Amino acid sequence: MNPSPWNVTRILLADMFRRNWVILIFGFVLAISPPALILGALKAKGALNVDDPAMIVIHVTFTQIMGMCFGVGVLQVAGWPSRLFLLPLSNRAIMLFQMVPATVLVIGQTILSGWILNALFGLNWPTLGNALAFGMVFATFQSFLTLFQKSVLMLPTLGSTLVLEALWVKSRHGPIFSLPTHYWTMVTPVECGLIGTVMAFCYALGMYGITRARCGKEIQTGLIVYLSRAFSNRIGRKAKVFRNGIEAQSWFEWYQKGVVFPIIVAIIVPATAVRWLFTDSRFHDLLETLQVEGWMMSAAAMIGGMILGNMRTSDSSFAMSPFLGTKPLATTSWSRLLLATAFRSLAWGILIWLTVYLLVLGGSELTGENLPKKPFVWWHFPGQILAAWTAMTFGLCLSLSGKLVYPKILGAIYFGWLITALFVRGLAPAWFTDYFTVSTLSGCGIALFILTLWVWGLALRRRMVANSQAIMACLVVASLTAIAGWQLAHEAIPSEGSRIHLFLLVSGLLSLVVFPFAAAPLALASNRAR
């Protein structure tokens, strides 16, 4: 085959899609599922009013979320430009190859998902403006990645550019510092021109970056690198003395992986407050957002747990690395140590969130602003903690097993259910939709319950947990379920029949609270000795 740049590019593109189409489809479905589920729920309740001004907020928020979810996948697919440096390609070809497919994919995704949602729920969401804007954002991403590679300067420069772009897009939907007031229906030639100019600028920036990076002249990072080096020198200088392997391994797990979750929380929660400053600065809204984030913390906790359970030291394979595997540490004490680290990680994250929450609450007291009229719901806070614990330890056990097959199975079940649910919502009569939701939810609860039982049985048989621990676990689950049941009996629920199904789901989820105590040693043992 003729090794012309054009042919090489074609082969690379084909290869990129052949290897990554799963990620792209996964990203697309993941991106579209939250708006589809929420709009579906609204439609099922009959509360979907296309002309409601709140729909504009939903539109802006979800278009952003969808773009980000899919964008992560696209970045993964596009990869670092440096992997192309050794190929017989011109700088221009590399830059185009980095920029064009990513931009086209993101534009296509925004248009396609907007079109699907419009068709499913009869919405009138405009797509072109946001799609082009997302194209611009991704061109920016790619050019900065090319320019700064892994330099520390990337974060501030890319961050500030993205904020500027986001503010501009926001200004298309109404005044910058308030909630969006209208759709961006008309894309004027001036706006197109602006987007085009920014893209061209990004291209030029990326070309400059490639020209430098390809001959090893990466961007000098100056002061920031100096400061970060000085800082990390300080951290690592003191010699630590450990009394035993458990202490050393706790240090390892915490320092390398456990800190990730608190850091995620420490970035996201204050960022919410900053973002809130740009909309309407009412404490009421911020408190509500923080409440929602308390629940969203579970998602971050799941990621934190998956990171914590990752026992590789390098990226060679998914399995536990021999460096760790050959440490003379009993599997059971190791898994206990991991759970303790998970707990520590979670405690720090919750502490950060709670501090911000209390500060905002204090602020609202000081300004004398009217607090939410809804009465304070007592079980939200413990519920959030339990949910985060469950999510984190479940994620921990998933990646601790070192086998890709479990996440794959779970992902397949979730997407299968999601797509079926979307079809049912869109097409089937209302009674069937109810029936479907209720039966799958309660089925899920029962399945989780059985899973927990099975795992405990296995761990008991292999003597990884003691009988007394099993009794403790039973007591914990029983009392939690009893409390949840009592609360559920007093909760206002739309239809009386779904109470029992909801109870089944909740008790299944609650049984997951004790799941990791049995699953973690099993997962670690199977990962360690394959």
Partner 1 sequence: MNQPIIEIRDLKRCFGKKVVLDGVSLTIPTGGVFGLLGGNGAGKTTVLRHTLGLLAAQSGSVRVFGLDPVADPVRTLGRIGYLSENRELPEWMRIHQLISYSQAFYPNWDPDYAESLRNMFELDPKAYVRALSRGQRARAGLLVALAHRPDLLVLDEPSSGLDPVVRRDILGAIIRTIADEGRTVLFSSHLLDEVERVADRIAILHHGRIQLCVPMDQILSSHRRVRIRLSSAVSRFPTEGIWIHCEGSGHDWSVVAEGEMHDIQTEVSRLQAEILTVEPMNLDDIFVARTAGKPLTAEVRS
Contacts of residue 102, Cβ cutoff 8 Å, sequence gap at least 6: 74, 75, 77, 78, 138, 139, 141, 142
Please, what's the b/e burial string for 118-131 (b: 16 or more CB within 10 A of its CB; e: otherwise)? eebbebebbbbbbb
404/471 with CB nearer partner 1: 404
Which pairs with CB-CB distance under 8 Å and at least 24 residues apart come from 451-454?
A: 451/515, 452/477, 452/511, 452/512, 452/514, 452/515, 452/518, 453/511
Kindly state whether residue 281 participates in binding partner 1, applying the rule CB under 8 A.
Answer: no
**Min CB(323)–partner 1 separation in Å:** 5
Cβ–Cβ under 8 Å, residues 269 and 290 = yes
Contacts of residue 117, Cβ cutoff 8 Å, sequence gap at least 6: 32, 35, 36, 39, 123, 125
Which of 15, 247, 288, 491 contacts partner 1 by CB under 8 A?
Answer: 247
Kindly state whether residue 152 participates in binding partner 1, applying the rule CB under 8 A.
Answer: no
**Min CB(526)–partner 1 separation in Å:** 9
Kindly state whether residue 220 participates in binding partner 1, applying the rule CB under 8 A.
Answer: no
**Min CB(321)–partner 1 separation in Å:** 6
Interatomic CA distance for residues 196 and 214, integer angstroms: 26
Kindly state whether residue 461 participates in binding partner 1, applying the rule CB under 8 A.
Answer: no
9/331 with CB nearer partner 1: 331
* Residue owning tokens 């893209």: 199
Cβ–Cβ under 8 Å, residues 453 and 507 = no
**Min CB(242)–partner 1 separation in Å:** 4
Kindly write out the interface string for residues 287-316 of this chain, putting x where it contacts partner 1 by CB under 8 A and - elsewhere: --------------------------xx-x
Kindly state whether residue 251 participates in binding partner 1, applying the rule CB under 8 A.
Answer: yes
314/467 with CB nearer partner 1: 314
What would the two tokens of residue 227 be?
């400061």
Which of 234, 237, 373, 461 contacts partner 1 by CB under 8 A?
Answer: 237
Interatomic CA distance for residues 420 and 414, integer angstroms: 10
**Min CB(328)–partner 1 separation in Å:** 4
Kindly state whether residue 248 participates in binding partner 1, applying the rule CB under 8 A.
Answer: yes
**Min CB(480)–partner 1 separation in Å:** 34
Burial of 185 (0-12, 13-18, 19+ CB in 10 A): exposed
- # residues contacting partner 1 (CB under 8 A): 33
Kindly state whether residue 329 participates in binding partner 1, applying the rule CB under 8 A.
Answer: yes
Which of 1, 22, 54, 241 contacts partner 1 by CB under 8 A?
Answer: 241
Contact footprint for partner 1 (CB under 8 A): 233, 236-237, 239-245, 247-249, 251-252, 256, 313-314, 316, 320-323, 325-331, 528-530
